Amino acid sequence: MANQREKGSRDPVIGDIRFARSLNPELDEYSAEVELGGRRVEVDLYSDAELEIASTIAVVRKILAEYPSICEKAKTYLERHVIPEWAEAWRADQPRWLDATILADHLKLDFITAHADGRATFWYTAGEVFTGHGLQLFMDRNGAFVDYDTPG
Contact 32, 18 (CB under 8 A): yes
Residue 148's closest CA among 128, 117, 127, 126?
A: 126
Compare 136 and 127 and report the one with higher pLDDT: 136
Residue 71: what pLDDT?
Answer: 92
Over residues 92-110, the pLDDT tens digits come to: 555 556 666 777 777 889 9
Q: Where are the domains of the chain?
A: 2-65, 67-149
Segment 9-33 shows an average pLDDT of: 89
pTM, full prediction: 0.86
Provide CB contacts within 8 A for 130, sequence distance 6+: 86, 90, 150, 152
Residue 123: what pLDDT?
Answer: 95
Taking the CA atoms of 41, 46, 51 and 52 in sequence, report the sign of the dihedral they define: negative
Provide CB contacts within 8 A for 98, sequence distance 6+: 83, 86, 87, 91, 129
